[in-house]
Amino acid sequence: MPYGRAVTSRPAAGGGRWVEVDPARVARWVEGFADRHGPPTTTVQEYGLLLSAPDGATAELHTPPGAAAATDVPGFVVAAAAPRRLGLLLARKGAVAVGVAAGTDLVVSKVDTRYVQGRTAAGGWSQQRFARRRDNQAKAALGDAVELAVRLLLPEAATLSALVCGGDRRSVDTVLADRRLAPLAALRAERLLDVPEPRQAVLVGAIAAARAVRILVRDPDRAG
């Protein structure tokens, strides 16, 4: 969720669009949906709540990471906005950022960057040599990421409602594959944040993205 924006929107695979809404604005968003499409019916789903409007429009309200499940919109709004502790693990190329957010505040954080050589256009033996060097650099960077998570995130595991990851999925998977991090892997949310190379500002901005309510909207001509 881009910094400073309460609502963002992008097309969804298979039709419709994903909307990301700040928890404080979910009630207002639902009111707007009802104004545009008519008063919706609400049904409980595994992912959260489904709003079905009289004109055929639907809105899937996905429970944000770490929030309690709800059976109606008022309960969903309260749960989404409630303060909770979230772990953050962002990894991409040679950079990693870990943190703990208490509500909207970043209370634990560390960013580490290790050089990983870019791809080379050279061929033959030279290309293989550069590829091996690059692989070794990437492994070393991920090793650093594991140790950082062990040192800063693992002691917090018992206090976290969820672990939200971002960046390159393969890098994140590799970090969490370390057996020592099993308690964190068990808390991992399905959501993978789309973030640039991790920096302190990116880590701070990831808090809003991790807490945002994702809503899949399908208009009448695309519903069903």
Burial tier of 6 (Cβ tally within 10 Å: 0-12, 13-18, 19+): middle
Buried b (16+ CB within 10 A) or exposed e, 75-102: ebbebbbeebbbbbbbbbbbbbbbbbbe
Cα–Cα distance for residue pair 105/157, rounded to 1 Å: 17
pLDDT band at 126 (very low <50, low <70, confident <90, very high): low
Instruction: Tell me the pLDDT of the chain averaged across its residues.
Output: 87
Complete domains list, the chain, with CATH: 7-83+211-218 (no CATH), 85-207 (3.30.420.60)
**pLDDT-derived band at 115, boundaries 50, 70, 90:** very low
The pLDDT score that the predictor gives to residue 4 is: 41
CA–CA dist 203, 197 (Å, integer):
10
**One-letter amino acid for residue 223 of the chain:** A
Tokens standing for residue 90: 């962002």
Sign of CA dihedral 190, 194, 198, 199: negative
What does the pLDDT average to over 185-205?
Answer: 95
For 132-186, the pLDDT digits (tens) are 555 555 555 677 889 999 999 999 999 999 999 999 999 999 999 999 999 999 9
Q: How confident is the model at residue 117 (pLDDT cuts 50, 70, 90)?
A: very low
Measured CA to CA, the distance from residue 182 to residue 203 in angstroms comes to 22
Main-chain dihedrals φ then ψ at residue 174, nearest 5 degrees: -65, -45
pTM confidence score = 0.84
Residue 181 has phi, psi (to 5 degrees) of: -95, 15
79, pLDDT greater than 80? yes
